[in-house]
A = this chain, B = another copy of it.
């Protein structure tokens, strides 16, 4: 993609109301633009990151056996009356009347709708276990939206829902999502720690939050350092028996402020392993049994011929919020440092003299070769000065910068810089490409 034909409106200064670094950097790097309080447009560079994050989430859901569908943003109020949540949900729910005065709402979550879909079609235990997910825009009317996409009102969420005949099978579904989440966040370069959580308005018996550690996180967390250091299990596991993987982790102390018990923390952790840190919630999983299936009559016939209410769980990932969380965890004074797996482009090729035909030819050759190797390339072909180009490249955080100028062309070298470390190398293009594709 040629920068001269792209739409990348970077800003010198972040607006004064952007309080946290991820919000400031997302505005400055031209990732988002605020359209209303807590409502953002995703500018081209931001949308690219959003799509990459979404795709990692999707792949790990599918690997864990979940099937994708897509529910609408608007829902009937009557559906929420069946579960009793229409009145219980409070002012965070955006309530709407259509032209015929029918009551709708902009879905803040989808337990009711998915339960309705399930009961319409599934009648037998033979169709279980079933796990369905979607990635859709949600709306929660936060009283005071802030921190950019971290606490927005219109936000992109992945929510999965599991259906099982009994609690034992539902726990297996829970475990599959638990492991899928460990893998999902690890692929994005994040340290996300599962912490036993309160079930809140979703309700239920068992719940874990997944918390990204970042100095600028919204909440205080307490956990055993060994849990943070434990690697993600990866996809090559026995998906039918994950209990030991889950047990190994939940045996280690980890709690958010609300769930923290200082005495237990001291008793259950070694002194050197006691970690007190700031964190950002990026995922939340719930097992809630028959909380929705009983009032909504979502039943299947069991092997004994009797009808039974299905056991359900729900599993959320804040897809748009993850952009903020990743930036909070990975930035420096010059800008964003995208982990390779979610970067909007793999490499930016910087042309130091766009008026020089030899430099342009060398740049285009580099771009073509990288693209032929499957790399996503942003080509800064503008006539801005080198200093401005370097500042933009650092700000937008693309993992590799490949700089070509008249001196390099004369000497047969390019400059390759790794954004994360600042390490620079002057090498022939062949070698730069070999390093980039290693």
Q: Residues of A with Cβ closer than 8 Å to B?
A: 5-7, 9, 33, 35-37, 39-44, 47, 50, 65, 67-76, 91-92, 94, 96, 98-99, 102, 104, 106, 113, 116-117, 120-122, 130, 132, 137, 139, 141, 143, 153-154
Residues of B within 8 A of A137 (CB): 72-73, 137
14 pairs of residues in contact across A and B, judged by CB atoms under 8 Å: A7-B67, A7-B69, A7-B130, A7-B132, A9-B122, A37-B102, A41-B70, A41-B72, A44-B68, A47-B68, A50-B70, A73-B73, A98-B141, A98-B153
Residues of B within 8 A of A50 (CB): 70
A44-B69, A67-B6 known; A33 and B141 CB under 8 Å?
Answer: no
A43-B69, A75-B36 known; A96 and B94 CB under 8 Å?
Answer: yes
Residues of B within 8 A of A91 (CB): 99
Q: Contact at B72–A154, with CB atoms within 8 Å? A: yes
Q: Contact at A75–B33, with CB atoms within 8 Å? A: no
Residues of B within 8 A of A132 (CB): 7, 44
Residue of B nearest to A127 (CB): B7
Interchain nearest-CB distance for A14 vs B (Å): 14
Q: Contact at B113–A35, with CB atoms within 8 Å? A: yes
Partner of A35, one of B40, B75, B102: B75
Residues of B within 8 A of A7 (CB): 67, 69, 121, 130, 132
Interchain nearest-CB distance for A215 vs B (Å): 30
Q: Contact at B154–A36, with CB atoms within 8 Å? A: no
Q: Contact at A47–B72, with CB atoms within 8 Å? A: no
Q: Contact at A42–B69, with CB atoms within 8 Å? A: yes
Interchain nearest-CB distance for A269 vs B (Å): 41
Q: Contact at B99–A36, with CB atoms within 8 Å? A: no
Q: Contact at B99–A143, with CB atoms within 8 Å? A: yes
Residue of B nearest to A126 (CB): B4
Q: Contact at B33–A47, with CB atoms within 8 Å? A: no
Interchain nearest-CB distance for A356 vs B (Å): 20
Residue of B nearest to A39 (CB): B72
Partner of A96, one of B35, B40, B96, B122: B96
Q: Contact at A70–B96, with CB atoms within 8 Å? A: no
Q: Contact at B67–A42, with CB atoms within 8 Å? A: no
Interchain nearest-CB distance for A172 vs B (Å): 14
Residues of B within 8 A of A117 (CB): 33, 41, 43
Residues of B within 8 A of A76 (CB): 35-36
Residues of B within 8 A of A43 (CB): 69, 117
Interchain nearest-CB distance for A322 vs B (Å): 15
Interchain nearest-CB distance for A247 vs B (Å): 26
Interchain nearest-CB distance for A62 vs B (Å): 9
Residues of B within 8 A of A113 (CB): 35, 41
Interchain nearest-CB distance for A355 vs B (Å): 15
Residues of B within 8 A of A39 (CB): 72, 74
Interchain nearest-CB distance for A72 vs B (Å): 5
The CA-CA distance from A120 to B9 in the complex, in Å, is 9
Residues of B within 8 A of A5 (CB): 65, 67
Q: Contact at B99–A141, with CB atoms within 8 Å? A: yes
Interchain nearest-CB distance for A26 vs B (Å): 14
Known: A43-B117, A47-B69; 13 extra A-B contacts, CB below 8 A, are A7-B69, A33-B117, A33-B120, A35-B76, A36-B72, A36-B75, A37-B102, A39-B72, A41-B69, A41-B117, A47-B68, A74-B153, A99-B141
Q: Contact at B139–A74, with CB atoms within 8 Å? A: yes
